[in-house]
Amino acid sequence: MDDALRRLVDRLAELPGVQAVALGGSRASGDARADSDWDLGVYYRGAFDPAGVRALGHPGEVSELGAWGGGVFNGGAWLRVDGVPVDLHWRDLDVVDREIADAEAGRVRIEPLSFHLAGIPGYILLAELAIAEVLIGDLPRPSYPAALRRAAPAVWTNTARLHAAYARSHAAAGRQAQCLATLTVATLQTAHAALAARGEWVTNEKRLLDRAGLRALDGIVDAAEAAPTSLAVTCDRVEDLCAPVWAAADPVRHD
């Protein structure tokens, strides 16, 4: 991290309400390329005004709280700091506390979020903390709760099955785009189930299929044709691909 980014971290930490700043994303996980963005979590408690970030004067876009849908990902900023791309993410520590308690109790909630086809679980906040490098302040460093590992696979599998079943209505009508999109969502949700069963954190969908061993979806989608009979076969193939994960999540089910 160069001097300009260090200065940014220091100035963020001085903003009212900010309790900690952490490095996340690929820079923290070790998967970064030379041109990767720098992802910084700005953890606050109580009142926090993004206008303070805007006043730092870096070019880019700064969102208000709640601008990203009002869920666990409640806003952030895209900045250029001496030409370096930096993403900021607002993180409410009261929400973090709630999500830790929910995860430890095995409660799972999935929210829609732009750019995340499968949706995101509330426990993604724990995943971020687990891999983050805390730069300033103190933050929880959660391990994967046993109750979450037991509960999350079934939650993801149930919604994946629903998507896969509904894809068949698109297939029967020859709606190729909707059929394949719905099957893709189902497979990504199945991948979440597989990694939850292994107690592995997920922070985004970029390598999700690879990590879950479901990358064969690419070939299935590529071979699909618009005719209803072809799309029905595609549905069969996707369900066959996902079936081992579904069975593991619900071993007493035999359909």
Choosing from 116, 136, 156, the residue where a domain stops is 136
Torsion of CA 86, 87, 88, 93, to 10 degrees: -130
| Residue-level pLDDT at 146 | 97
Q: Which two tokens stand for residue 100?
A: 């830790």
Choosing from 109, 136, 163, the residue where a domain stops is 136
| Residue-level pLDDT at 34 | 74
Is residue 108 situated within a structural domain?
A: yes
Is residue 254 situated within a structural domain?
A: no
Whether pLDDT at 245 is above 50? yes
Looking at the fold, whether 170 and 131 belong to one and the same domain comes out as no
Residue 14's CATH number: 3.30.460
| Residue-level pLDDT at 251 | 55
Looking at the fold, whether 121 and 27 belong to one and the same domain comes out as yes
Looking at the fold, whether 67 and 41 belong to one and the same domain comes out as yes
Structural domain boundaries, residue 22? 3-136
Residue found by looking up tokens 């893709």 in the block: 184
Looking at the fold, whether 216 and 129 belong to one and the same domain comes out as no
Looking at the fold, whether 76 and 33 belong to one and the same domain comes out as yes
Is residue 11 situated within a structural domain?
A: yes
Burial 76-114 (b: 16+ CB within 10 A, else e): bbebebeebebbbbbbbbebbeebbebbeeebbebeebe
Q: Contact, 108 vs 27, CB < 8 A?
A: no
Whether pLDDT at 252 is above 60? no
What's the structural domain count of the chain?
A: 2
Is residue 15 situated within a structural domain?
A: yes
Give the model's confidence band at 140: pLDDT under 50 very low, under 70 low, under 90 confident, else very high. Answer: very high
Query: What does pLDDT average to over the chain?
Result: 93
pLDDT tens digits for range 156-170: 999 999 999 999 999
Of the listed ranges 25-29, 37-41, 78-82, 172-176, the least confidently predicted one is 25-29
Whether pLDDT at 202 is above 60? yes
| Residue-level pLDDT at 30 | 74
Return d(Cα 102, Cα 122) in angstroms, integer.
Answer: 9
Give the model's confidence band at 254: pLDDT under 50 very low, under 70 low, under 90 confident, else very high. Answer: very low
Question: What is the average pLDDT across 10-25?
Answer: 95
Percentage of residues in the chain with pLDDT exceeding 70? 98
Q: Contact, 74 vs 65, CB < 8 A?
A: yes
Q: Contact, 37 vs 85, CB < 8 A?
A: yes
Q: Say whether 53 sits in a helix, a strand or coil.
A: helix
Q: Which amino acid type is present at position 243? A: A
Q: Say whether 89 sits in a helix, a strand or coil.
A: strand
Is residue 141 situated within a structural domain?
A: no
Percentage of residues in the chain with pLDDT exceeding 90? 85
Question: What is the average pLDDT across 113-131?
Answer: 94
| Residue-level pLDDT at 17 | 96
Looking at the fold, whether 206 and 86 belong to one and the same domain comes out as no
Choosing from 114, 136, 158, the residue where a domain stops is 136
Looking at the fold, whether 173 and 72 belong to one and the same domain comes out as no
| Residue-level pLDDT at 255 | 43
Return d(Cα 248, Cα 212) in angstroms, integer.
Answer: 13
Question: What is the average pLDDT across 69-93?
Answer: 91
Whether pLDDT at 29 is above 90? no
Whether pLDDT at 253 is above 60? no
Looking at the fold, whether 99 and 16 belong to one and the same domain comes out as yes
